[in-house]
Amino acid sequence: MNATAFNLSSKTAVITGGASGIGLAIAKRFAEHGAAVEILDVQQDMLDSVVNELRSAGHVAHGETCDVSDPVSVDAAFARIVTRQKRIHILVNNAGIAHVGNALSTSPEEFARIQRVNVNGVAHCTQAALREMTKMGGGVILNLSSTVAQFGFADRFAYSASKGAVLSMTYSVAKDFLAQGVRCNSLLPGRIHTPFVDNFIAKNYADREAEMFEKLSKAQPIGRMGTPDEVAVAALFLCSDEASFITGTAYPVDGGTLTLR
């Protein structure tokens, strides 16, 4: 790789849900490419551990305990980041929660909980970032949607609704803030091997874990699950200056799920 490619030096990147899984991989990848990373998460212990790890490796990193579903919490966290960094160049809306259930098995309370985090959380953080980006000459917003925003997937009623909303918000922001120099794109990951997958298998298939892992892996046309770092590499590209001609895009990282299944 060209040593100057995907250089995020002198840029501040805010990553929500950055203390674990895909968000953690993105935070590490961005830090390795020179960004000052600001990680928002509700998991204080994990947040502290990640920040300490990044600092020990010589990177610039800070953490903010933040509930993205609460606009007061979001605005306070972003205010502290702006005070510290003076500007926000990149926002990665990664924080989200999953849910398994169809339209009849999903309770109103469960449906609302998913939307509060996955939809409202993206909206709150996007609004907070845009208030700064539009004053400072632009920026990049990257939303973590999902392949389920574009095809029917069994037992993901609330989750699919939330990720469809995230994709629609991506198009809206990309259109509305072109003139202010803001690019907005979405990543559409397929099944990525994260702790959520392991916990889901252990909870629902305790006596068939290896079998189910193999089955879920082969559900992707490419024959395996993706890794968080493979998503992080795509995020790095879309948030870098090398992607300056890309906005309003739904970018799959899915092992061929959307087109080859």
Residue-wise pLDDT for 204-231, tens only, equals 898 999 999 999 999 999 999 999 999 9
User: What is residue 3's predicted lDDT score, i.e. its pLDDT?
Assistant: 53
- For residue 111, pLDDT beyond 60: yes
User: What is residue 101's predicted lDDT score, i.e. its pLDDT?
Assistant: 96
User: What is residue 196's predicted lDDT score, i.e. its pLDDT?
Assistant: 84
User: What is residue 261's predicted lDDT score, i.e. its pLDDT?
Assistant: 86
Percent of the chain with pLDDT over 90: 93
pLDDT digits (tens, 9 = 90+) for 23-64: 999 999 999 999 999 999 999 999 999 999 999 999 999 999
Residues of the chain with CATH 3.40.50.720: 12-190+227-253
User: What is residue 204's predicted lDDT score, i.e. its pLDDT?
Assistant: 84
- Model confidence at 103, pLDDT cuts 50, 70, 90, reads very high
Instruction: Please state the pTM of the whole predicted model.
Output: 0.96
In CATH, 12-190+227-253 is 3.40.50.720:
yes
Query: Which residues make Cβ contacts (< 8 Å) with residue 178, sequence separation at least 6?
Result: 247
- For residue 247, pLDDT beyond 60: yes
Residues assigned a catalytic role: 159
